[in-house]
Amino acid sequence: MAAITPLLRLLPVLLLLLPPALLKYLTASNGPAKDAGIGELHPIVLLAGLGCSDLEAQLTEAYRPSVPRCGAMKGKGWFSLWQNTSDLLAQDYVQCFEEQMRLFYDPAINDYRNLPGVETRVPKFGSARAFHDKNPLHPKRCLDNVREALEELGYRDNDTLFEAPYDWRHVPPVPGQISRSYSQFFQRFKALVETASSKHEKKVIIFAHSYGGMIALEFVRNMPLAWRNRYIKHLLLSAPTLSEGFMRMVQGLISGSEHMIYVPTSEASLRTLWRSFETSIMGLPSPKVFGHEPLVITKQRNYSAYDMEDFLAAIGLEDSIEPFRRRMIPKMNYFEAPMVPMTCINGVGIRTPRQLLFWESDYNVSPEIVYGDGDGGVNLRSMTAFEEEMCREPRQKRQFKTIKIYKVGHSDLVTEEGAIKRVVEEILEANRISSNTLRTTF
């Protein structure tokens, strides 16, 4: 007893040492959290993964519909194109949707664009209700649970809590590359961060999941270093899909990828649509990480990461070779550290495709799959390669942390209770680091 008493006496003092938000988190009763912590919180911007942002379209006079009914919205202003895909069947709009949603690579500008006469935009920029999943089978992948947990902490929509939706059909450029879609997005993102930061006189935390991780990373790397130092508090990436590449993207490219986006249509139509997006050739395995290992195995020939152009031709995607060469290869070869405090959270210990066997070279049948380690989508070797790259820069290494959560899959990282708790802890930790409340409280 005697030994315990001093510790018990110390307990209130120890609790005082914690920042108010964390204290509230740890001692919260079940009731809704009070707003007490708001003043201490750094603003946060969330980016969810592929397909989570809505898209709106408008059809101008230049639009030539393939069938008359697809032109019904011509001249009628903005309407929701990618918002509720379950609704497309009921509206008999699947064919029109596919036509208005698809992208084309334009070699003259080395960038992707819509069909002539189709204009698109991303609604709800900045709102903490910008993302939602279109797939009724897993409706929570678009950060709903993370957002709820943050609101419990005292984060508030349009005050300290924001979302940065983006046109996920496009791939963010590395510095030096042009992307009309992202140059606009980066401008909005920059303005959002600056406004939130000056309102609270605090730097901003960015939390991004999956493909949002690549967007967030490229946003930060495209900003001048002085700007990053001034405005970015912490970059927190959960299961980021990066240009190290992963085999799931090869699978998606072959199959049409019902796992990547949800549209109630035939496998063949979805494949054509998916393959028109720049995103479809993002994240193919990079030679630096996957080396000469055979990734796609057939009777006649094997394809390694060095053979991705031949592989594109083999699956009938000759048209994707040029954009792959001109837009994706430079990304694979770009390894600058973002030079801001950074944490990567990844799931591991889940069966993840490593090699695909199409023995008869028939890409319409399901392959035999050889599995390795990863989060079910991203291969462990890609995560490791990225971490090594970040640690090669000593000034990044000092402010780089990785967290591996065993047996939690790619999407479960933002839906499972335990994983969300970990994310919230990291966000609180990021809040704590520079906060001077510690000294004043004492």
Ligand X SMILES: *[C@@H]1O[C@H](CO)[C@@H](O)[C@H](O)[C@H]1NC(C)=O
Q: Which residues bind ligand X (CB under 6 A)?
A: 84, 86-87, 90, 158, 294, 297, 301-302
Q: How far is the CB of 35 from ligand X (least distance, A)?
A: 16
Catalytic-role residue among 53, 197, 210, 320: 210
Q: How far is the CB of 101 from ligand X (least distance, A)?
A: 17
Q: How far is the CB of 294 from ligand X (least distance, A)?
A: 4
Query: DSSP characters for 364-424?
Result: TSPPEEEEESBBSSSBHHHHHHHHHHHHHSHHHHTTEEEEEEET--TTGGGTSHHHHHHHH
Per the CB < 8 A criterion, the answer to whether 442 and 17 are in contact is yes
Contacts of 388 (CB under 8 A, 6+ apart): none
Q: How far is the CB of 382 from ligand X (least distance, A)?
A: 20
Measured from the CB atom, the residue of 75 and 372 that comes closer to ligand X is 372
What SS3 state is found at 363? coil
Contacts of 340 (CB under 8 A, 6+ apart): 220, 228, 229, 232, 234, 235, 399
The verdict on whether 210 is a catalytic residue reads yes
Contacts of 119 (CB under 8 A, 6+ apart): 57, 58, 59, 60
CA dihedral for 380, 382, 386, 388, sign (positive or negative): positive
With left for phi above 0 and alpha for psi between -120 and 50, is residue 119 left, alpha or beta?
beta
Measured from the CB atom, the residue of 19 and 285 that comes closer to ligand X is 285
Nearest alpha carbon to residue 311 among 365, 251, 259: 251
Pairing of strands 296-297, 44-47: unpaired
Measured from the CB atom, the residue of 314 and 408 that comes closer to ligand X is 314
The verdict on whether 375 is a catalytic residue reads yes
Q: How far is the CB of 78 from ligand X (least distance, A)?
A: 17
What amino acid positions are annotated as catalytic residues?
210, 375, 410
